[in-house]
A and B are shown apart, each in its own frame.
Chain A
């Protein structure tokens, strides 16, 4: 995305570009109604799930919410800050291992584990972000890939924690000494609360002055510099926030699957996160939730229909890219959901 390359500032070509101030009223309905509906749906789903295969539905939807958290965190830097990270799944792995390694050493307090997972993710984000942000555009994509791969190979080499095979978490962590996480409805609503919290936190961030600087740095870095903002600090802060939140997703994934493995942090996973965000619609946050849901649920449904489900899913992604500018959210917007 060099500035002078066959130029296509995102604001011109992609309707999914963040609503600028002037355009805000037009999009307000979508920005309120869609998330509201989504969250209501997630909130009441357990009540309906008991009529079907409850554990399976809850398990699938928990997965959706966890990846929605990861995808939203990616949307912050990718959709709002134009920092395309191709190593974002590394934070899922670090968050998961943060929980798993402590569990292995019988540290089973929920909050200590959470703190360790988030702290480790934040540190990794700070170190790699500080270096990665020296580059721009495609070079940024690739340097984040490099750090992601280093993380992957690091955990593969950790023989004590199962190496490539990963390890099973045999117990659940304690909250105030209680075994609440063993109840799946508690876990479900805990993940739901995390998703809600992350959504409103990120929404507050992108609407704050900080968020405006971030978008400004995406659209016109030169002007931002000229009016006295150094985008670097803001971008780094955003990168650390995104990494930490994605670490939360990894932490939740570890306890939801009761298993951790380097397979959580392959470059394919990072690619899938990007696809989720773009599929849903970049720069809208709730688009990331819809993208994660669409990706995981379609995958699950299609794979029930035929073993060659990728023959359907692949062209579907191509069609979305060709005809639904701005992903599913962009598509909805053009069909009258304003």
Chain B
């Protein structure tokens, strides 16, 4: 019976706010995937955000930043409960995150309908950019299709006529293939969907080897991307068939891919070597603090913190009027590490998209490097479906 009392006490204690909310602080919930294999992505984002706050002296727009870091465990139902905790227990003004689209779709409604603002610093599912857009929902990364569209445009520009497509068999995988095809008019020699979590790509590589396409396009996030890239290189295909990808060779994966990824291409909005204001300082500070090269996830979270900083400063720290806060976010004047950045009508970015290639730096570390800009001031196609109610 004691246990039950303890249990009851604990239940209530869980629900109590950690301390009395202070008026002169801004409370932010960071919700990222911090356990399981994709934790590397979540940690990049978390660290990027914290780095920005540290640089700003622990403040955002003049208010002390009180940050709650939450693991969504990549489970939508767990995430929904924890998002409610952020809103009602911690009384946060903003939720920043998540990494994955399914979590974003699950937590968007509970957050925006509680009159809080959700800023997705990575996930960009089409629903939330289009029909389900909401004034309280912002996105500072990209719409999921866009990065794949970049690679379709690259294949088109380079005159490839026969391309082999490969993606994991789930929603984001299917979206990536349709995104690629939006700008590619050549022949798709084969479209392969592999089960999520597949370890071994020898079968697919044998097929590529047999079909001899002009290029391969793939979207293979996380550990799958590491396995594919290493096996692709070990099979001796890198020189024979150009490897176009999205979220497959990036700074979270490169430490495990190393030289196997050399020369492979990726579509992105940013690279660590890009010559934009503040970028070199950011990369140096991140490497100094965390001992690894920052990836896109870190950059986007850093940008999100800077966006919040600018918006809160323009309000003189007054977060009481929700409409004013939204307006301030939409018009925030901050310098993105990507260069040009503004919000579209669906509160998703209008920005440049670039082609990047893996290279080895002089200090021996690997990173993606800028090759050329593919789209300038590019917004997503779902904005026209978004009516903001």
For window 103-130 of B, CB contacts with A under 8 Å fall at 105-106, 108-110, 114, 125, 127
Among candidates B71, B75, B84, B172, residue contacting A56 with C-beta atoms closer than 8 Å: B84
Whether A179 sits at the interface, judged by CB under 8 Å, is no
Whether A197 sits at the interface, judged by CB under 8 Å, is no
| B74 and A263 contact, CB distance less than 8 A | yes
Whether A303 sits at the interface, judged by CB under 8 Å, is yes
Binds B, one of A16-24, A68-76, A163-171, A235-243: A163-171
A108→B101 CA distance, assembly (Å): 26
Whether A301 sits at the interface, judged by CB under 8 Å, is yes
Whether A126 sits at the interface, judged by CB under 8 Å, is no
| A33 and B106 contact, CB distance less than 8 A | no
Whether B85 sits at the interface, judged by CB under 8 Å, is yes
| A257 and B105 contact, CB distance less than 8 A | no
| A56 and B89 contact, CB distance less than 8 A | yes
Rounded to whole Å, the gap between the CB of A71 and the closest CB of chain B is 15
Rounded to whole Å, the gap between the CB of A322 and the closest CB of chain B is 19
| B196 and A53 contact, CB distance less than 8 A | no
Whether B1 sits at the interface, judged by CB under 8 Å, is yes
| B1 and A48 contact, CB distance less than 8 A | no
Residues of chain A contacted by B12 (CB below 8 angstroms):
48-49, 51-52, 57
| B88 and A156 contact, CB distance less than 8 A | no
Rounded to whole Å, the gap between the CB of A115 and the closest CB of chain B is 23
For window 61-93 of B, CB contacts with A under 8 Å fall at 69-71, 74-77, 80-82, 84-85, 87-91
Binds B, one of A37-45, A187-195, A198-206: A37-45
Whether A334 sits at the interface, judged by CB under 8 Å, is no
| B84 and A59 contact, CB distance less than 8 A | yes
| A297 and B7 contact, CB distance less than 8 A | yes
For window 1-36 of B, CB contacts with A under 8 Å fall at 1, 3-4, 7-8, 10-12, 14-17, 34-35
| B76 and A263 contact, CB distance less than 8 A | yes
- With A165-B105, A261-B76 in contact, do A297 and B169 touch (Cβ < 8 Å)? no
Whether B185 sits at the interface, judged by CB under 8 Å, is no
A51→B14 CA distance, assembly (Å): 12
| B102 and A297 contact, CB distance less than 8 A | no
| A61 and B171 contact, CB distance less than 8 A | no
Whether A110 sits at the interface, judged by CB under 8 Å, is no
| B105 and A167 contact, CB distance less than 8 A | yes
Among candidates B14, B106, B169, B196, residue contacting A166 with C-beta atoms closer than 8 Å: B106
- With A52-B89, A53-B85, A253-B77 in contact, do A261 and B102 touch (Cβ < 8 Å)? yes
- With A61-B11, A257-B76, A293-B7 in contact, do A55 and B174 touch (Cβ < 8 Å)? no
| A57 and B14 contact, CB distance less than 8 A | yes
Rounded to whole Å, the gap between the CB of A313 and the closest CB of chain B is 11
A 256-300 binary contact with B (CB < 8 Å = 1; else 0): 011101011000000000000000000000000000011001001
| A37 and B171 contact, CB distance less than 8 A | no
| B196 and A164 contact, CB distance less than 8 A | yes
Residues of chain A contacted by B109 (CB below 8 angstroms):
168, 170, 258-259
Among candidates A263, A300, A337, residue contacting B1 with C-beta atoms closer than 8 Å: A337
Residues of chain A contacted by B108 (CB below 8 angstroms):
168
Residues of chain B contacted by A34 (CB below 8 angstroms):
4
Whether B170 sits at the interface, judged by CB under 8 Å, is yes
Residues of chain B contacted by A170 (CB below 8 angstroms):
109, 132
Rounded to whole Å, the gap between the CB of A35 and the closest CB of chain B is 11
Whether A157 sits at the interface, judged by CB under 8 Å, is yes
| A37 and B1 contact, CB distance less than 8 A | yes
The size bracket of the interface on A is: 35 or more
| B106 and A41 contact, CB distance less than 8 A | no
Which chain B residue has the least Cβ–Cβ distance from A60?
A: B81
Rounded to whole Å, the gap between the CB of A89 and the closest CB of chain B is 12
Residues of chain B contacted by A53 (CB below 8 angstroms):
15-17, 84-85, 88-91
Whether A106 sits at the interface, judged by CB under 8 Å, is no
A167→B74 CA distance, assembly (Å): 15
Rounded to whole Å, the gap between the CB of A208 and the closest CB of chain B is 29
Which chain B residue has the least Cβ–Cβ distance from A59?
A: B84
A54→B90 CA distance, assembly (Å): 12
Residues of chain B contacted by A163 (CB below 8 angstroms):
170-171, 174
Rounded to whole Å, the gap between the CB of B91 and the closest CB of chain A is 8
| B105 and A168 contact, CB distance less than 8 A | yes
A 147-183 binary contact with B (CB < 8 Å = 1; else 0): 0000001001101001111111010000000000000
Residues of chain B contacted by A261 (CB below 8 angstroms):
76-77, 102, 106
Rounded to whole Å, the gap between the CB of B144 and the closest CB of chain A is 10
A63→B88 CA distance, assembly (Å): 16
A41→B3 CA distance, assembly (Å): 12
Residues of chain A contacted by B89 (CB below 8 angstroms):
52-53, 56
Whether A185 sits at the interface, judged by CB under 8 Å, is no
For window 292-338 of A, CB contacts with B under 8 Å fall at 293-294, 297, 300-301, 303-304, 307, 310, 328, 332, 337
Among candidates A48, A55, A60, A257, residue contacting B106 with C-beta atoms closer than 8 Å: A257
Rounded to whole Å, the gap between the CB of A34 and the closest CB of chain B is 8
Which chain B residue has the least Cβ–Cβ distance from A48?
A: B12
Which chain B residue has the least Cβ–Cβ distance from A335?
A: B2
A167→B125 CA distance, assembly (Å): 11
Residues of chain A contacted by B195 (CB below 8 angstroms):
153
Which chain B residue has the least Cβ–Cβ distance from A57?
A: B15
Residues of chain B contacted by A49 (CB below 8 angstroms):
12, 15
| B16 and A52 contact, CB distance less than 8 A | yes
B 189-222 binary contact with A (CB < 8 Å = 1; else 0): 0000001100000000000000000000000000
Residues of chain A contacted by B90 (CB below 8 angstroms):
53
B 251-280 binary contact with A (CB < 8 Å = 1; else 0): 000000000000000000000000000000
Residues of chain A contacted by B171 (CB below 8 angstroms):
159, 162-165
Residues of chain B contacted by A48 (CB below 8 angstroms):
12
| A56 and B105 contact, CB distance less than 8 A | no
What are 16 A-B pairs at a CB distance below 8 A? A41-B8, A52-B14, A53-B85, A55-B114, A59-B84, A60-B15, A165-B171, A168-B108, A168-B127, A257-B77, A257-B106, A259-B80, A261-B102, A263-B76, A263-B77, A300-B81
List 7 additional contacts besides A168-B108, A170-B132; criterion CB under 8 Å. A53-B84, A60-B81, A164-B170, A165-B172, A168-B109, A261-B102, A300-B82
6 smallest A-B Cβ distances: which pairs?
A164-B170, A52-B15, A53-B89, A53-B88, A57-B15, A165-B171
